[in-house]
Amino acid sequence: MSLEGEIANSGRFAFLKPLGECVRPIYDQILLETDSCVVTPTLGSIVPNWLLIVPRSPVLNFAQWSRTTGRSPLQLIRSVLARGSFPTDRLVWFEHGPAQTGSTIGCGVDQAHLHVIYNAPFSAEQVQLIAQEHSQLDWSVGHAESAYSSIRPQESYLVTGSLDTAAFAQDVEQIGSQFFRRMIATLSNRADAWNYRTHPHLSNIRETICSFRNLS
């Protein structure tokens, strides 16, 4: 079976359900578990040290998760990095936030997931700038902690930032699938390798696992 077929048939984030004796794919290796989320590498890691933070509870996006739990997604990011005592000066995080199931924004996954890149070869400011340059969206820039509380309910969104600042745009269905992956691929001089379905970047996944295997 092809990789794309495996993704479609098994369901992305199947690791949230018990697998019995089944062997997990390398991109679904759990690096850290808490009472509220699971941390794994991500399929299609254009650069190494790229993590996914996935809530245990079924929720469509992190704006909904934040409203339901009363917690900021930035708290999750800080707690994950603190487990490994990793510095945060080259930290980039982002989310494609769908407003409904089956959305192209959410890549049809229908489960909230936050992308976090540690020790990125580009800055969060560069990601914000290229996102603004390559879209015709109305971006708002401000403090990272207030980004999610500023997102209007029931609207799709894109959000990216560092631990200090974040930029977000809403009503973004026209932007298509994997927008931030496309921007990161461009910043990484891999503009043709942004699609996780066709470019899994398994070597970077292995490097991520090595970097974060001491998380506990």
Give the mean pLDDT of 130-136: 97
Closest CA to 158 of 207, 104, 120, 197: 104
Residue 162, CA distances (Å) to 16, 96, 115, 135, 197 in order: 27, 16, 12, 20, 27
Judge residue 190's burial from the number of C-beta atoms within 10 Å of its C-beta, 0-12 exposed, 13-18 middle, 19 or more buried.
Answer: middle
The residues with which 158 forms a beta bridge, in sequence order, are 96, 169
47 pLDDT above the threshold of 60: yes
How far is Cα 208 from Cα 212, in angstroms, rounded to an integer? 6
The structure tokens listed for 129 are 């700038």
pTM of the full predicted structure? 0.89
Interacting residues of 43 by C-beta distance below 8 A, sequence separation 6+: 7, 12, 25, 27, 196, 200, 205
Are 51 and 119 within 8 A, CB to CB? no
For the CA atoms of the chain, what is the radius of gyration? Answer: 16
Per-residue confidence band for 5, with pLDDT thresholds at 50, 70 and 90? very low
Tell me 91's DSSP state.
Answer: -
Per-residue confidence band for 6, with pLDDT thresholds at 50, 70 and 90? very low
Are 185 and 46 within 8 A, CB to CB? yes
The structure tokens listed for 64 are 């909904």
pLDDT in tens, 74-89: 999 998 888 877 778 8
Classified by CATH at the fold level, domain 3-212 comes out as HIT family, subunit A (3.30.428)
Domain residue ranges of the chain, discontinuous segments joined by +: 3-212
How far is Cα 77 from Cα 93, in angstroms, rounded to an integer? 9
174 pLDDT above the threshold of 80: yes
Give the mean pLDDT of 165-169: 98
In three-state secondary structure terms, 173 is helix
Per-residue confidence band for 141, with pLDDT thresholds at 50, 70 and 90? very high
Per-residue confidence band for 13, with pLDDT thresholds at 50, 70 and 90? low
Q: Of 12-16, 61-65, 168-172, 192-196, where does mean pLDDT reach its minimum?
A: 12-16
The structure tokens listed for 45 are 């890691």
Are 185 and 193 within 8 A, CB to CB? yes
8 pLDDT above the threshold of 70: no
Q: How much of the chain, in percent, has pLDDT values that exceed 90?
A: 75
Q: Of 8-17, 22-31, 35-44, 96-105, where does mean pLDDT reach its minimum?
A: 8-17
Residue 43, CA distances (Å) to 4, 89, 175, 209 in order: 11, 24, 21, 12
